[in-house]
Amino acid sequence: MRSFTLTRNRLSLAIAREAPRIECASTVGVDRNLRNLTVGNDEETHHYDLSQTVRISSTTTRIVASFKRDDAG
């Protein structure tokens, strides 16, 4: 047992144990910016251009904001 805390309504115990060691076969990194996405590891890297996605999102937001209800009132 590592530590304990005793209060009026609660007893909290902290127990330490050895964690199993995990061996990684490979790791992957992800770099996300507004207009691009890069994914890769030591062997290969892929770059995705997201500028078209940003433009579509901006246009869609502008169009949806322009909708107005005619039946309210």
pLDDT digit string, tens, across residues 22-73: 998 889 999 999 899 999 998 999 999 999 999 999 999 999 988 876 676 5
Percent helix, strand and coil across the chain, each rounded to 5?
Answer: 20, 30, 50
- The proportion of the chain whose per-residue pLDDT surpasses 90, expressed as a percent, equals 63
Strands (DSSP E) contained in the chain are 3-6, 11-14, 29-32, 36-40, 45-49
Asked whether 36 and 27 are in contact (CB, 8 A), the reply is no
